Structure 1
């Protein structure tokens, strides 16, 4: 059963539908402010996915939840709240981001016999404590990060908003951010099919070791900024983008780079020649010697 990609995708879809239904009823029937209702609904959905990840012995059941959850939240508000231009632009940005990321996940997903190397590593290192790490670190923590990132969208749908040039600018920047992320992924897929070097050194990857992560980080800063222009001086709504940035900078990227260092010779030289995130060209030692 786990060897079939189609069946594996149907299983994960079923899990997410169940998570969404239980999350919906949690949101509808808990008598709290919308931001608390959304938080508890997200947690309920996460618990459902976690339970099935234990049953299927595969924490990668959660992987697509990162991109699917924001789309579900946006669609829920679109069908339950009155729409206006600001809400439409914010929805287009998040749905475009989520759809692109989910399609990329489907493309790279093999089946439920495959599990992310990071989860396997954590399982080996934490042993008996892995179920706790699995729930808190692999499932709950990312859900809380996503919740904080989409909270500005929830505020846009639950408070009065004003249309202005700032909304338009940061909508365009959000679209450019997930478009850059998509281009980086396409370049990586092409590189893996026609691998002729150890590291990808062309396109966006010539200027940044993680242009896909950069696009992800910028996406949520732009969404936060869009919401601030739409709602007024609610600067605290940038907190989710900040947490997301810190997560990628101090957790996701270091883990990925340590993994590459262990598997690929010459990583330290590659790292010295290519910036981590900012797409600013950094000359290689070879180019410096030639010019000298």
Structure 2
């Protein structure tokens, strides 16, 4: 264990002792919870426990409902999301949900892999989704401060919606992303369930997904370096030189690759591209406008926007 890890554990132990002695003599439970949430070790442990509970609830739900497989999976996904929502209310922090986006697909495909077994195409699908999901979850962990820190978008929504925020929190912050990622991963789950086999087209599109996830990872690393150096208002190097959102482009292309890979393997379109389309709409209609809206407060944004593209990392002509 490194020095930082030991320091965090010792800090947590000291705070816990302080809470036990003094907590109930101040403002009671709220004080205790706030102190605990401010500790990164406790926060990581709490989120981990939340997701273990959510996964268990999802598995139980899937097994007890008498529905077609895709509806049973949806019911399980919804139940797991409800668990994360419940704990986001307990912790007064909607960011409890943040890792769900990248954890959910891995759990779903891994569960089908255990239940149905894997052929070569199934192994490739699981590997691609795990590569994307583990990388994205690691990025969340790297940026995660503690449970007193909430994504600025959720705080903004809470301020704007007032008494309606609980509804916005459950529907907009939790359920809508869950449904979008459910639709994205459903083709891969179907391919594993049905034992579809790979062909040249499906392999090429999975390669596209790997490249897209890699691009997203590179963009995130470049952004982390920029934020550490705080050199200017806008990042203008690497993948960000000509694109305002290359990380979002990677996310969008990742799921188009998975969907099209299954289309090629199944040799039919069916529902396989619904998730990729919904994911694209989510980023174009919600995520990107919110991010650009926040950036627009900075001096020079109008010129920056003129010089860059929304997604494609290529120079404007």
Fold shared, TM-score > 0.5 on shorter chain: yes
After TM superposition, the structure 1 = structure 2 runs for residues 240-251 of structure 1, keeping only pairs within 5 Å, are: 240-251=275-286
Q: Does 1:265 align with 2:299?
A: yes
The answer to whether the 8 A contact 2:249-2:311 is kept is yes
> Which of 264, 279, 282 is the matching residue for 2:316?
282
Q: Does 1:43 align with 2:66?
A: no
TM-score under structure 1 length normalisation:
0.95
Instruction: Find the aligned partners of 2:195 and 2:111 in 1 and give their Cα distance.
Output: 18
> Which of 96, 99, 120 is the matching residue for 1:64?
99
The match for 1:74 is 109
Q: Does 1:144 align with 2:169?
A: no
Q: Does 1:153 align with 2:177?
A: no
Q: Does 1:254 align with 2:285?
A: no
SS in 2 for 1:197: coil
The answer to whether the 8 A contact 1:181-1:214 is kept is yes
After TM superposition, the structure 1 = structure 2 runs for residues 66-145 of structure 1, keeping only pairs within 5 Å, are: 66-145=101-180
Superposed CA RMSD in Å reads 1.0
Q: Give CA-to-partner distance per residue, 1:127-167, whole Å, 9 cap, x none.
A: 11110111000001110001000011111112141221012
The answer to whether the 8 A contact 1:9-1:111 is kept is yes
Runs of 4+ displaced beyond 2 Å: none
The match for 2:221 is 186
Structure with max Cα Rg = 2
Q: Does 1:221 align with 2:256?
A: yes
Instruction: Find the aligned partners of 1:235 and 1:38 in 2 and give their Cα distance.
Output: 18
The answer to whether the 8 A contact 1:5-1:110 is kept is yes
Q: Give CA-to-partner distance per residue, 1:155-187, whole Å, 9 cap, x none.
A: 111214122101210111111010000000000
Q: CA deviation at 1:28?
A: 1.3
Q: CA deviation at 1:220?
A: 0.3
The answer to whether the 8 A contact 1:224-1:237 is kept is yes
SS in 1 for 2:244: coil
Alignment gaps of 5+ in structure 1: 284-292
Q: Give CA-to-partner distance per residue, 1:225-251, whole Å, 9 cap, x none.
A: 011111220343101100100110011
Size of the aligned set, in residue pairs, is 282
The answer to whether the 8 A contact 1:87-1:157 is kept is yes
Instruction: Find the aligned partners of 1:187 and 1:279 in 2 and give their Cα distance.
Output: 14
Instruction: Find the aligned partners of 2:198 and 2:169 in 1 and give their Cα distance.
Output: 42
Instruction: Find the aligned partners of 2:120 and 2:62 in 1 and give their Cα distance.
Output: 25
The answer to whether the 8 A contact 1:207-1:282 is kept is yes
SS in 1 for 2:118: coil
The match for 2:23 is none
The answer to whether the 8 A contact 1:74-1:95 is kept is no
Instruction: Find the aligned partners of 1:236 and 1:73 in 2 and give their Cα distance.
Output: 18
The answer to whether the 8 A contact 2:50-2:83 is kept is yes
The match for 1:197 is 232
Instruction: Find the aligned partners of 2:252 and 2:168 in 1 and give their Cα distance.
Output: 24
